[in-house]
Amino acid sequence: MSSGNSVSGGLESSEERRHKKLGPLASLFSGSLFARRVKDSHPKEQKDPGWKLFGKVPPREGHIKDPKKIQKEYETKSGRAGPDNPTSPRQSARKNLDFEPLSTTALILEDRPANLPAKPAEEAQKHRQQYEEMVAQAKKRELYNICLARAKEKWKSIAAPASDSEPDDAGSSDRESSLELIKLDISRTFPQLCIFQQGGPYHDVLHSILGAYTCYRPDVGYVQGMSFIAAVLILNLDTADTFIAFTNLLNKPCQMAFFRVDHSLMLTYFAAFEVFFEENLPKLFAHFQKNNLSPDIYLIDWIFTLYSKSLPLDLACRVWDVFCRDGEEFLFRTALGLLRLYQDVLTCMDFIHMAQFLTRLPDLIPADQLFQHIAAIHMSSRNRKWSQVCTT
Amino acid sequence: MQNNHHKERLYKILVIGDLGVGKTSIIKRYVHHNFSPNYRATIGVDFALKVLNWDQETVRLQLWDIAGQERFGNMTRVYYREAMGAFIVFDVTRPASFEAVTKWKEDLDSKLTLANGKNVATVLLANKCDQGRDVLTNNGIKMEQFCLENGFVGWYETSAKENINIDEAANCLVKHIIANENDMLQSEVLDTISPQLEKDKGGTCSSCFRSQ
């Protein structure tokens, strides 16, 4: 794609650039990896496809359209692969792609005026593709913009406390006040980075993403821990992509169980974790049992924030990389790797010191050693894999 | 009990209250004697240990700093188990956090009682008092009355930032916890014949045993 002057060339290179920028998050963003994995291991989870954002499942799309595939088809059909066949100047292609209309309704494909000569087939196809790309871009932002607009409405009504009469009935009140809680948590998200706090460059972005999510999924609302996940995504993606990645990530079975605080499901995860804990680290497991140190005490923080709060950020991102590849199992494997790494220290501690240690891990964790210990964890118990243990 | 002169007491203390009222800050001030405006949100539960010298005894306070979001309630309530005392914290600049105090107290009392059926000693902390006293003055609430009605053993205007009243509040709680414990031991000794205790005491009366 060096000279990629055609539209398709421009597309491909921008796509590639984005992939480079996203790194392993790209798969998370597109959702395709997760969609497939989820399908494999939990066929039943798929019954609610309406929530999947831009993944492979939305029913409206009909058949799956991978932009790259479309492009390949187009290239072979039109017989001009990007690099060899420069047609339109790159600049204009770029310009078109940068145009992101706020709503799909703004994109009306008007008929060509009758007094103009017919477009060559190739050009017509090219324009159609440009149009589709624009629609896709707009669609991507559309849902986010709608949700954000709703959130802003709610913020306004909170800011004007004229009608303080809203009944605070138990149960719903927690979810209702989500927007209020977000405000309190934002400045407490990675405070050491000084970018999410009031006045910081990403304060409003984090605020918007979380606010939009509570309007997108009012049934889930804002739950502590989300701010850390959104913050990590913001550090890696642009806003619209962050929203999509965030919603898809929270839609994964394990994350849904935790963020909905589905107690019995969480206990299932903890129990499965303990099976592998005992299998891999029997001595430490016995020590924990003796001291009544149950996994919820340290796992809740680790799983809710995907280690972004408990591990140094660079290490957390490495964990995310493999989590994107291996799925939820890796979160629990990481926990066991951490316990294995600190096994000797922990065995000498009593309950309170262990609890303190695990809820506040050392600032300096030897990364390579940690990953060696994670690698040394066997994720099979009596020939059963994680997913099998989890479902029994 | 083997060594009467260096008896150690270990108490589990809960620190609860709405999100962002300053629970973690209070604990950090109390245990580590410092303050930072940049604490991270607590997810689940955090821990701290404070060791006190109390009448020639060592008192260890196991502080359970429990996440404030109501949603975590079902999960974090298991952490109430075996606690001997609690701080319920609210933020004087946020009336809603004060309104939640009775909810927290009722929740605590419904989930946790001492062996003698009494509620655990609970102290109310009106935190961030360095930032104004809106809640306390505007509502015309008589705090002493409020504490009596809701079963708090005391209340303090605190500031983790300015180090106001944190030690005082903790001492008040410890005092009540010890009193409760002594109460329970006394009634135990009075009400039941316990051969084990008899053996240990070596014939002294129950009050002598208490004072050891």
Give the model confidence (pLDDT) of B136-157 as tens digits. Answer: 766 656 888 999 999 999 999 9
Structure confidence at residue B187 (pLDDT): 77
Structure confidence at residue A53 (pLDDT): 55
Structure confidence at residue A62 (pLDDT): 43
* Nearest-by-Cβ selection for A225 from B19, B43, B48: B43
* Nearest-by-Cβ selection for B72 from A261, A298, A356: A261
Structure confidence at residue A140 (pLDDT): 79
B27 pLDDT above the threshold of 50:
yes
- Rg of chain B in Å (alpha carbons): 18
Tell me, yes or no, if B208 comes closer than 8 A to chain A by beta carbon.
Answer: no
Tell me, yes or no, if B78 comes closer than 8 A to chain A by beta carbon.
Answer: yes
In chain A, residues with a C-beta closer than 8 Å to the C-beta of B127 are none
Are the Cβ atoms of A174 and B72 closer than 8 angstroms?
no
B194 pLDDT above the threshold of 90:
no
CA of A188 to nearest chain B CA: how many angstroms apart?
Answer: 5
Instruction: Find all residues with CB under 8 Å of B38, minimum gap 6, and list them.
Output: A188, A191, A192
Are the Cβ atoms of A300 and B62 closer than 8 angstroms?
no
Q: How confident is the prediction along chain A (392 residues), in pLDDT tens digits per residue?
A: 444 344 343 444 444 555 555 555 555 554 433 333 433 444 444 444 445 555 544 444 445 456 566 566 655 655 544 444 444 444 444 444 445 555 555 555 566 777 888 888 898 899 999 999 888 888 878 889 999 999 888 888 776 654 444 444 333 444 446 777 898 899 899 988 889 988 899 999 999 999 999 999 999 999 999 999 999 999 999 999 999 999 999 999 999 999 999 999 999 999 999 999 999 999 999 999 999 999 999 999 999 999 999 999 999 999 999 999 999 999 999 999 999 999 999 999 999 999 999 999 999 999 999 999 999 999 998 889 999 998 87
pTM of the model as a whole: 0.75
If interface means Cβ-Cβ distance under 8 Å, which residues of chain A face chain B?
A: 168, 173-175, 177, 180-181, 184-185, 188-192, 221, 223-225, 227, 261, 263, 266, 296-298, 300-301, 304-305, 309, 352-353, 355-356, 359-360
Are the Cβ atoms of A359 and B20 closer than 8 angstroms?
no
Q: Which helix (H) or strand (E) holds B32?
A: helix B23-32
Structure confidence at residue A78 (pLDDT): 54
B188 pLDDT above the threshold of 80:
no
Tell me, yes or no, if B110 comes closer than 8 A to chain A by beta carbon.
Answer: no
Secondary structure string (H, E, C) spanning chain A: CCCCCCHHHHHHHHHHHHHHHHCCHHHHHHCHHHHHHHHHHCHHHHHCHHHCCCCCCCHHHCCCCCHHHHHHHHHHHHCCCHHHCCCCCHHHHHHHHHCCCCCHHHCCCCCCCCCCCCCCHHHHHHHHHHHHHHHHHHHHHHHHHHHHHHHHHHHHHHHCCCCCCCCCCCCHHHHHCHHHHHHHHHCCCCHHHCCCCCCCCCHHHHHHHHHHHHHHCCCCCCCCCHHHHHHHHHHHCCHHHHHHHHHHHHCCHHHHHHHCCCHHHHHHHHHHHHHHHHHHCHHHHHHHHHCCCCCHHHHHHHHHCCCCCCCCHHHHHHHHHHHHHHCCHHHHHHHHHHHHHCHHHHHCCCHHHHHHHHHCCCCCCCHHHHHHHHHCCCCEECCEEHHHHHHC
* Nearest-by-Cβ selection for A261 from B40, B47, B74: B74
Give the model confidence (pLDDT) of B38-88 as tens digits. Answer: 888 899 999 999 999 998 899 999 999 999 998 888 788 889 999 999 999
Tell me, yes or no, if B83 comes closer than 8 A to chain A by beta carbon.
Answer: no
Are the Cβ atoms of A224 and B38 closer than 8 angstroms?
no
